[in-house]
Chain A
Amino acid sequence: MGKVKVGIIGSGNIGTDLLKKLMRSPHLEPSVMIGIDPNSDGLRMAREAGLVTFDNGIQGFVEQAELADILFDATSAKAHLHHAKVLADMGKKVLDLTPAAVGPFVVPNVNLHEHLDKGNINMITCGGQATIPIVHAVNQVSPVHYAEIVATIASRSAGPGTRANIDEFTQTTARGLEMIGGAQKGKAIIILNPAEPPILMRNTIYCLVDKEKLDQDKITQSVMNMVKQVQAYVPGYRLRTEPLFDDNKVTVMIEVEGAGDYLPPYAGNLDIMTSAAVKVAEEWAQHQVKV
């Protein structure tokens, strides 16, 4: 079985980290990288690795469409709106790592099976990838009325896009907690911590459930299982302590250490995005092969 050819749009930190991960994939073969800065680290590394590179945006790729079947978009929400349309017309599958939200929100292991047939999938936010699985795990045992998450990330791991539009993080993550986590109401908070050396990404997930339906052992088991599933694609995803219970509140604390591919290990927030996107693409690849 041959590998499925994939392309990366965006040669910044995220695009370059994707490149490193894709080069290890048993199911995917990175074949093209599309950027706008010929001198970027990402395009240089891609050229060295033998990929076809374009430094004039997506136009060059349109003329050589056979180069890739799945595209990762690590640019900006605004750019993605254009890319999404062009790529849809070409019949390409697209993984959107921007906040554009053209396609459905997906967290692997939670709702990917519902969207395998979609042409465009959105990866929500880093906080969403880190916390929605836990809310889902609790919700499977005891319906979650209210889920609140606090994501704390190292200042150095928050890029200019996140900083310029931090409301997008809180609003999109909250929607994901509801739509995919299953909470009736979601709320998200993000905190940037400038400590040196940089801290690992930390997430606290609070869930309010019915007191009568709160089964501590089952919830703990469900959360542990979910952590294992996420660890399959983000090995540095860990519980800080066992889930804590007070009255009708469940508290789960998670830290995320990145694989340190292109991004430093403390940037678990970025690693979980790129890892989740690669995971979805691998599922797509295997699915296509089966079909």
Chain B
Amino acid sequence: MTQTKKVYITEVALRDGSHALAHQYTVEQVRQVAQALDEAGIPYIEVSHGDGLAGSSLQYGFSKTDEMRLIEAAVEVCKQAKIAVLLLPGIGTMEELKEAAGLGAKMARIATHVTEADISAQHIGLAKDLGLEVVGFLMMAHMVPPEKLVEQAKLMESYGADTVYVVDSAGALLPHEVRERIKALRENLSINIGFHGHNNLSLAMANTLAAIEEGATRVDGSVRCLGAGAGNTQTEVLVAVLDRLNIETGVDLYKMMDLAEELVAPLLPQPQEITRDSLVMGYAGVYSSFLLHAKRAAQRFGIDARDILVELGKRKVVGGQEDMIVDVAAELAAKKAELAAEK
């Protein structure tokens, strides 16, 4: 246990955190947070709409500020940190990726549902051609067994990805399930392995540690858990824990604590708690970004958000299918009205 490992943290509050803020980041907020993260020594900072480049839409919520202006601002203030962007093929296109690279983004994270890696070949290829470091991001990793995950990760490796992430988008994985998955990738891939957690079952930290123990060297965190659902692994806490474990991150703990307390906490519309709705997402295996959309639909149709989320889990809805929330809510409300009429 005395051997020093190095783990690279990607801070996602300026991307995943955008969900919790209903995509309302301003240039000034991004500038301040990115600058402080850079000074604290965070190596990668992700900046994009919560659903990735070109995610600004009626389906996911319009951005208050054009994400390209946010990326530009973050690039401008960072001295050592590299700016990462997220792209979900099917939502964003190679055009936005080129634009972001032109503005100075240095890492592209290309995300697909865990069974659909083959739609990322072009985007991974382009990102490599643009000279970017490339991460393949396999979302909703809890939905398939490790063998399937390996098959899909190997596709991304073959397209040129430098790293493949196991992404627990629903915050549904248990620590032993994270272990199995990271171990399987470690044994079958020769590139870096990463882990992105959500805290819906209060397991983001435990899962991140399990991933590191099995050989993940890239992990995601969000300051103050500022991410979708109950948020991600809390970055400043992760830095402290990894320091105690003698794992090197290169991040200054006190600076992280200060920016979390002074800059990020005031941005939160509400504390990132594990509410009953986010808990049910982890429990039912539902994409964390659905949280605010399900709450709104529940209010509109006069039903319980948990019923919507559980039903979505049953139907095996995948990331990006926010339109199914209203569809299912309308259906449940109609059923409820029918039952009431019968009585």
**A residues touching B (Cβ–Cβ < 8 Å)?**
146, 148, 150, 152, 155, 163-167, 169-171, 187, 189-195, 202, 204, 206, 208, 240-241, 244, 249, 251, 253
Contact = CB atoms under 8 A, between A and B. Distances in A.
A167 B115 contact: no
Interface in B307-328: 315-318, 320-321, 323-324, 326-327
Contact of A150 (B122, B323, B331, B334): B323
Contact of A193 (B122, B316, B331): B316
A50 B94 CA distance: 45
Given A148-B57, A155-B116, A194-B116, A167 B89 contact: yes
16 contacts: A148-B57, A148-B59, A152-B321, A166-B119, A167-B122, A169-B90, A171-B93, A187-B57, A191-B90, A191-B320, A193-B317, A194-B113, A195-B315, A202-B323, A202-B327, A240-B327
The 10 A-B pairs of least Cβ separation, nearest first, read A204-B323, A195-B316, A167-B93, A206-B58, A194-B115, A190-B90, A191-B320, A166-B119, A166-B89, A148-B58
B247 interface: no
Nearest to B323: A204
A189 B320 contact: yes
A163 to B, nearest CB: 5
A189 B116 contact: no
B274 interface: no
Contacts of B91: 170, 189
Nearest to A152: B321
A241 B316 contact: no
Interface string B280-318: 000000000000000000000000000000000001111
Contacts of B93: 167, 170-171
A67 B326 CA distance: 51
B242 interface: no
A170 B90 contact: yes
B118 interface: yes
A99 to B, nearest CB: 14
A192 B117 CA distance: 11
Interface residues of B, number: 29
Contacts of B118: 163-164
Contacts of A169: 90
B53 to A, nearest CB: 12
A206 B326 CA distance: 12
B253 interface: no
Nearest to B320: A191
Contacts of B334: 241
Q: Which of B90, B115, B317 has the most CB of A within 10 A?
A: B90
Contacts of B59: 148, 150, 189, 204, 206
Interface in B97-128: 113, 115-116, 118-119, 121-122
Interface string B74-98: 0000000000000001110111000
Nearest to B90: A190
Nearest to B97: A167
B94 A192 contact: no
A249 B58 contact: yes
Nearest to A160: B118
A251 B330 CA distance: 12
Contact of B321 (A171, A191, A208): A191
Contacts of A189: 57, 59, 90-91, 320
Contacts of B95: 167
A18 B227 CA distance: 47
Nearest to B317: A193
A192 B116 CA distance: 7
A241 B320 contact: no
Contacts of B116: 155, 163, 192, 194
A244 B333 CA distance: 14
Given A150-B320, A166-B119, A194-B113, 15 more contacts: A150-B59, A150-B323, A152-B323, A166-B122, A167-B95, A170-B90, A170-B91, A187-B57, A191-B321, A193-B317, A193-B318, A202-B323, A204-B327, A251-B326, A253-B327
